[in-house]
Amino acid sequence: MEEIDRLIFENGKFINNPYKNSMFRLRNSNNFNPREILPKIKELKNSKKFDSIYKFLDESSRAENQNIIFKAFQEGLCDIRNKNGRNILNEASANGNLKLVVNLIQCGCKIEEKDNDGCTPLINALINGHFELIKYLINFGANKEAKDNNGSTPIIHASQHGQLDIVKYFISLGTDKETKDNYGNTSLIWASWNGHLDIVIYLISIGADKEGKNKNDQTALILASNGGQLEVVKYLISSGVKKEVKDIDGKTSLHHVSNNGHIKIVEYLISVGVDKESKDNIGSTPLILAAKQGHLDVVEYLTSVGANIEAKDNDGNTSLNCASSGGKLEVVKYLISIGADKETKNYDGNTLLINTSFNGHIDVVQYLFSLGSDLEAKNIDGKTPLSYALINHHLNVSQYLISVGANKEANIYNGNALIQYYSKNGNLELLKYLISCGADKDAKNNKGETLLHCASRDGRLEVVKYLISIGADKEIKDNDGNTPLITAVNAHNFEILKYLISVGADVNAKNNEGNTALIQVSYYTYCLDIIKYLISAGANIEAKNNDGWTPIIKASCCDNLGIIKYLISIGSDKESKTKDGNTPLIVASKCGKLDIVKYLISIGVNIEAKNKNGDTALIIASKEGKLDIVKYLISFGADKKATNKDGDTPLIIASHHRYINIVRYLISAEANKEAKNNNGCTPLICASSRDNLEVVKYLVSSGANKEAKNNNGCTPLICASENRNLEIVKYLISSGANKEAKNNEGNTPLICASDKSNLEIVKYLISVGANKDTKNNKGETPLSVGWGAVKNYLLSI
């Protein structure tokens, strides 16, 4: 008994104190045995079976065992949710189970908890029309303005579901009648849309805004019209709403009812003077919309009251154009019978027959042809009805048009057209039909592609098989020299590749770049299965393209370690060279493929191999800024003093290309910072010439000679001065560089800067005391070689 007292009254947690005495009575009168009930509650909690939990709590409520419900609440049983996200209180509210709702709330369940749709217990009760439960929840403090995920409040739900008494009840509570959901719909708009006339009358009687608009600028009248609610439409208009109001798309109520086929409302709106020629934002009149949707009765009525049958929308389409395009045969017949222009064209030049052929409406096509429509009419793109029937793979329309004399030569004998028709979606039956009509199976488009190329690229094995079976050329090449087999490899279409090889396709055929299928696929990651198959079928593993690239070299520039290992395992030459002399190691180093570099070195490739420019892998990695490759190569003894044909060392190359991290690493690895290339340039001279201040600073700080000269006698300062590198000039001067040093022609930094019209550098050198009267070997001064702004400046001082 003490346990029960603790469960119910511990720490004052039982929220409804007036029930304390009744709890004592219930405890004694309903044989509550904790030893039996507590295990049951835990079992249900662990099972999370919502229906079983609800049934248990409902039965406890009916038996007035509120202490059981309270224990279940404490154990979290009331928080278990069903697939709709409803907890027990939400479900009880939806079911109208007032007794259980009362018990749950008295035990402490929160009355504003929401389900997956954002509905509170109040909203769930309202949706299902449980008026007494609604009143109870309101009296207990439920939020009458609560919103679900759509922003709908209780009064909006009541209006939407036609619950007039509930609407009135919420109005009596002071609920905002103009509140809007997330889409801007008010209670009046919802009631109008769903045809609840009594609610519409009531809301307007209490002053609801009858011209209010939602986010699509739709009023109650527009949505009542859209929903086919004639009586609501009549009432709204009788109450004085604006009958010509337009929504965000420029549509009036008459547009909506014409589009939806609500003939009675169409007749009513016309009778009250709504404009039958009004156009929406895309220029559609009510008649055009009715014709487009095939509402013959609406079309007949509108034309009977004088609607313009030749009115055009923004694309130049009349109602007849739209009916033809949409395949509305009866509307087409009717409009032509009353004099609509059957030769009309829209602004793209499309005739009725072109429009209906485009969309594949065979019955309309046949009818228009019976009236003499021109089979060969062309639009502004030069396309005929047959062109569009073929492009959109309307086989029945294509067959019919050809059978009645459409010019097939213009449409299927041209390779571009034929392949365009096929490429639209690869329709095999259409393709067979076109070829049976005489289309060339080997016709080419502007890219030189045949049908077999396209099918091989697009992965259409059945089409490939069909074309081969009728003798399509399997070795034919496109403008890039690709055979169907190479095309299939480029698209990674393994099954087509295997089929083409099985029927004798040449696995060693080359395209215009000299690439075989194997060379092409070696570039791609994750294509080892294709590579193995090609080699098993006789592909040459040492084949070279026009640049001398073999499969292993091609694979070295990508993340294709697995492919390289396989090629090596079957004897591929690890020292093969391109025409430029690049080995797989040089290519991998250039492309930054560290794993491949590691593997190639591990199998003994020549780390000092040079290409035709004399570049080693280390020089190339330094040039491309691949620090991790540089480190790894040096760790395996790569020569950091190696030079290429220009005499450049790795450090000179890195300095020239501004790779400060590599410069630092090479210096730390004791690379020669005073090495000179064939032009006599040291790393510092190269960096000074290239506006690379960070590298210059590091080299100087490392002890590089600031006064070193290249073959022309230029120091770093002279190079920086003639190359407009002001910040480097300033740094070198601040570091003690000789501002009066001369090159082989006797030019000082100031003379060089003047000659190149580098005004800012001239000013700076003068400001630090450079001799403005110094002369070179020709006797020229800074003033005599200067021009423009530099000359004016020197004259001014």
- pLDDT tens per residue, range 607-619: 999 999 999 999 9
Q: Which tokens belong to 372? A: 């003499």
User: Do 64 and 15 reside in the same domain of the chain?
Assistant: yes
Q: Is pLDDT above 50 for 18?
A: no
User: Do 183 and 118 reside in the same domain of the chain?
Assistant: no
What is the pLDDT confidence band of residue 691, given thresholds at 50, 70 and 90?
A: confident
Q: How much is the pLDDT for 235?
A: 99
User: Do 34 and 107 reside in the same domain of the chain?
Assistant: yes
Please calculate the CA angle 207-212-213 and round it to the nearest 5 degrees. 165
User: Do 179 and 115 reside in the same domain of the chain?
Assistant: no
- pLDDT tens per residue, range 110-120: 999 999 999 99
- Helices 20-29 and 66-74: crossing angle in degrees, nearest 10, is 110
Please give the average per-residue pLDDT across 28-34, as a whole number: 51
**DSSP string of 27-83, one letter each residue:** HHHTT--HHHHHHHHHHHHHHT-HHHHHHHHHHHHHTT-HHHHHHHHHTTGGG---T
Q: Above pLDDT 90, what percent of the chain? A: 86
Q: Is pLDDT above 80 for 35?
A: no
- pLDDT tens per residue, range 741-768: 999 999 999 999 999 999 999 999 999 9
Flag whether 179 is in a domain: yes
Q: Is pLDDT above 60 for 23?
A: no
SS3 605: coil
Domain boundary among 85, 118, 143: 143
What is the pLDDT confidence band of residue 323, given thresholds at 50, 70 and 90?
A: very high
Q: Is pLDDT above 70 for 779?
A: yes
Distance in angstroms (rounded) separating the CA atoms of residues 688 and 677: 15
Residue count of the chain, please give it. Answer: 797
Q: How much is the pLDDT for 659?
A: 98
Q: Is pLDDT above 60 for 634?
A: yes
Q: How much is the pLDDT for 37?
A: 84
Q: How much is the pLDDT for 444?
A: 87
Flag whether 468 is in a domain: no
For the ranges 126-135, 335-344, 389-398, 412-421, which has the lowest average pLDDT? 412-421
Q: Is pLDDT above 50 for 3?
A: no
Higher-pLDDT residue of 28, 602 = 602
- pLDDT tens per residue, range 162-212: 999 999 999 999 999 999 999 999 999 999 999 999 999 999 999 999 999
Please give the average per-residue pLDDT across 687-694, as a whole number: 94
Flag whether 206 is in a domain: yes
Q: Is pLDDT above 90 for 124?
A: yes
Flag whether 374 is in a domain: no
3-class SS string, 215-264: CCCCCHHHHHHHCCCHHHHHHHHHCCCCCCCCCCCCCCHHHHHHHHCCHH
Domain boundary among 121, 143, 165: 143
What is the pLDDT confidence band of residue 392, given thresholds at 50, 70 and 90?
A: confident
User: Do 114 and 29 reside in the same domain of the chain?
Assistant: yes
What is the pLDDT confidence band of residue 342, given thresholds at 50, 70 and 90?
A: very high
Flag whether 159 is in a domain: yes
User: Do 127 and 2 reside in the same domain of the chain?
Assistant: yes
What total number of domains does the chain contain? 2
Q: Is pLDDT above 80 for 597?
A: yes
User: Do 100 and 225 reside in the same domain of the chain?
Assistant: no
Domain holding 52: CATH number?
Answer: 1.25.40.20
User: Do 2 and 136 reside in the same domain of the chain?
Assistant: yes
Distance in angstroms (rounded) separating the CA atoms of residues 304 and 524: 68
- pLDDT tens per residue, range 46-82: 999 999 999 999 999 999 988 899 999 999 999 999 9
Q: How much is the pLDDT for 32?
A: 55
Q: How much is the pLDDT for 162?
A: 97
Please give the average per-residue pLDDT across 584-608, as a whole number: 98
Q: How much is the pLDDT for 31?
A: 53
Give the number of C-alpha atoms closer than 13 A to the C-alpha of residue 136, restricted to the C-beta side: 19
Q: Is pLDDT above 90 for 542?
A: yes
Please give the average per-residue pLDDT across 235-251, as a whole number: 98
User: Do 134 and 23 reside in the same domain of the chain?
Assistant: yes
Flag whether 6 is in a domain: yes
Q: Is pLDDT above 90 for 4?
A: no
User: Do 116 and 66 reside in the same domain of the chain?
Assistant: yes
What is the pLDDT confidence band of residue 28, given thresholds at 50, 70 and 90?
A: very low
Flag whether 87 is in a domain: yes
Q: Is pLDDT above 80 for 24?
A: no
**DSSP string of 317-375, one letter each residue:** --HHHHHHHTT-HHHHHHHHHTT--TT---TT---HHHHHHHHT-HHHHHHHHHTT--T
User: Do 190 and 107 reside in the same domain of the chain?
Assistant: no
Q: Is pLDDT above 60 for 10?
A: no
Residue 408 · residue 400 · CB < 8 Å: no
Domain enclosing residue 72, as ranges: 1-143
Flag whether 673 is in a domain: no
Q: Is pLDDT above 50 for 27?
A: no
Residue 15 gets which letter from DSSP?
S
Q: Above pLDDT 70, what percent of the chain? A: 93
Please give the average per-residue pLDDT across 376-391, as a whole number: 92
Place of tokens 């007949």: 300
Q: Is pLDDT above 80 for 769?
A: yes
Q: What is the mean pLDDT of the chain?
A: 93
**DSSP string of 716-745, one letter each residue:** HHHHHHHTT-HHHHHHHHHTT--TT---TT
User: Do 113 and 170 reside in the same domain of the chain?
Assistant: no
What is the pLDDT confidence band of residue 11, given thresholds at 50, 70 and 90?
A: very low
Domain boundary among 109, 143, 177: 143
Higher-pLDDT residue of 560, 577 = 577
